[in-house]
Structure 1
Amino acid sequence: MLIAQVTDIHLGFDPDNPAEFNRKRLDQVLRALNDGPNRPDLLLATGDLTDRGDADSYRRLANAFSQCDFPVWPCMGNHDDRAHFAAHFPHIPQEDGFVHYAIAQDGRRIIMLDTLEPGRHGGAFCERRAQWLAARLDEDSITPTLIVMHHPPVEVGIDWMNTHPEEPWVRRFAATIAGRPNLQAILCGHIHRSAVAPWKGTTIAICSSTAPQLALDLRPMDPDAPDNRPMIVADPPAYALHRWTEEGLITHFETADDHVMLAKFDGSMQLLVRTLMNERP
């Protein structure tokens, strides 16, 4: 199974602009997925789908996703609004006031979580959400499973976007997934950069954004002492491809910019390709 992931679209950052920068970046990624060599079986859109949670941005997001030749499964981020989202994505399940649901496909399972708490930038995972997730994990302890959520429950080293490991929601989430041998990975967004980390016996893979990226600066930050460091940079719009095999998840991070080709598979490269492939059992 090949799973694509986009995240942190922030549609509507430039409201009322039909040529919005963030929409152009999203369309660029979707074209790469539709028309490129790696068309996925499905697309996960992992939160901050819009910038302000307004209804018109969700309408335009639904229009953008309508060009996809594969199913699109979204989840909530801290910039999202559940009610406005539901009005334009009525086919996405909601339960007990949260946008969380499970997808079964090809003998595997993907659990989409809702870590939105209105008015809070960081993540949330209350007792009701923990009970729902525990029930989903308890009902099937065999099928290979991914958890998908906007907020990563791990420190990434970028001070102003870090999650503290002792936050109550992180401890609650860690307790809920403990002892689940069929949990193969956790896919997240929020950081606007690609990162991979081991965590609680599984792996967290964080996807870069289609909107502009965060600058990579791992120095400590003093909120009372602005130091003119870069915070947001206009790197190319990005996405992830997760190749889910019998052995587990292999994640590739890619940008949607044009790449300069330095070699192609023609007669001059045929011997090299044949030699490399013949080395295998």
Structure 2
Amino acid sequence: MLIAQITDIHLGFEPDNPAEFNRKRLDQALGCLIGGPNRPDILLATGDLVDRGDVDSYRRLANAFSQCPFPVYPCMGNHDDRASFSAIFPHIPVVDGFVQYVVPLDGLRLIVIDTLEPDRHGGAFCDIRAAWLRARLEEAPATPTIIVMHHPPVEVGIAWMNTHPEEPWVQRFAAAIAGHAQVEALICGHLHRAIVAPWKGTTIAICPSTAPQVSLDLSPIDPEAPDNRPMIIADPPAFAIHRWGEHGLVSHFETADEHVMLAKFDSGMQPLVRALIGERPV
């Protein structure tokens, strides 16, 4: 099973431009998924779907998703607005005021959770959401489960985007999944970079964005002393392909730009392919 992921679309960053840069980048990524060799079974859109939380941007997002020949499952990010989102995506469940739901697949469950708190850039996860998540995990303790969310609950070293491990929402989320060995992985966005990290006995896979990426700078930052470091960079739009199989989840990250072919599978490469495959046990 192939599970594609896009994240941090930020549609509507240029609200008066119907051909905005972020829409072009989104279409570029979707084009790779739809027309490329790895067409997924489903697509996850992990938050910051739009930039200003407005209904018109969600309407244009729905238009972009309408070209997908596979189901799309979105979640909330800190730039999103639940009411505006639900006005355009009324089929996505809202429970106790939060966009949270379960996607049952063949031998796998996806649990989509809501880490949005209005007017806060970082994540949030209250007692109501935690109780809902615990209940969903208790329903199927033997079924492998992936939790889908916008904010990663891990410190990654990019100082101005970091999540502190002692933030209350992180502690609350960690307690909600503690003891549930079926949680195979967390699939996240928010950081506009490809990052993989171990966390609390599971693995966090963070997808790069379709919108411009965050610069990789792991040095400390002083909020009182601007140092002209790059923060947002014009790297290509990107996406993830998560391959679920009998040995678990394997995550691949890809850019949606042109890839110059240096070799192809022809008769000249055939001996190498035969040899490599021949080394594997039957």
- TM-score interval (norm. to shorter): over 0.9
SS of match in other structure, 1:267: coil
One-letter identity of the residue aligned with 1:259: H
Determine the structure 1 residue equivalent to 2:12: 12
Are 1:212 and 2:212 an aligned pair? yes
Determine the structure 1 residue equivalent to 2:247: 247
Determine the structure 2 residue equivalent to 1:151: 151
Distance in structure 1 (CA, Å) of the matches to 2:46 and 2:268: 42
One-letter identity of the residue aligned with 2:10: H
Determine the structure 1 residue equivalent to 2:42: 42
SS of match in other structure, 1:226: coil
Distance in structure 2 (CA, Å) of the matches to 1:247 and 1:125: 30
SS of match in other structure, 2:275: helix
One-letter identity of the residue aligned with 2:84: H
Deviation at 1:107? 1.6
One-letter identity of the residue aligned with 2:146: L
**1:69-148, aligned counterparts within 5 Å?**
69-148=69-148
Distance in structure 2 (CA, Å) of the matches to 1:246 and 1:278: 21
Deviation at 1:99? 0.2
Are 1:22 and 2:8 an aligned pair? no
Distance in structure 2 (CA, Å) of the matches to 1:118 and 1:279: 54
Distance in structure 2 (CA, Å) of the matches to 1:166 and 1:222: 21
Distance in structure 1 (CA, Å) of the matches to 2:36 and 2:143: 30
Distance in structure 2 (CA, Å) of the matches to 1:278 and 1:119: 57
Deviations 1:41-63 (A, max 9, x none): 00000000000000000000000
Structure 1's consecutive aligned runs of 4 or more residues displaced over 2 angstroms after TM superposition are none
Distance in structure 1 (CA, Å) of the matches to 2:116 and 2:180: 24
SS of match in other structure, 2:268: helix
One-letter identity of the residue aligned with 1:191: L
Distance in structure 1 (CA, Å) of the matches to 2:31 and 2:134: 37
Distance in structure 2 (CA, Å) of the matches to 1:68 and 1:16: 25
Distance in structure 2 (CA, Å) of the matches to 1:237 and 1:48: 15
Deviations 1:249-268 (A, max 9, x none): 00000000010000000111
Q: Percent identity?
A: 75
One-letter identity of the residue aligned with 1:253: F
Distance in structure 1 (CA, Å) of the matches to 2:38 and 2:139: 33
One-letter identity of the residue aligned with 2:227: D
**1:156-195, aligned counterparts within 5 Å?**
156-195=156-195
SS of match in other structure, 1:266: coil
Distance in structure 2 (CA, Å) of the matches to 1:196 and 1:213: 16
Distance in structure 2 (CA, Å) of the matches to 1:169 and 1:221: 24
TM-score, length-normalised on structure 2?
Answer: 0.99
Unmatched runs of 5 consecutive residues or more in structure 1 = none
Unmatched runs of 5 consecutive residues or more in structure 2 = none
Deviation at 1:96? 0.6
Task: Give the total of aligned pairs.
Answer: 281
Determine the structure 1 residue equivalent to 2:59: 59
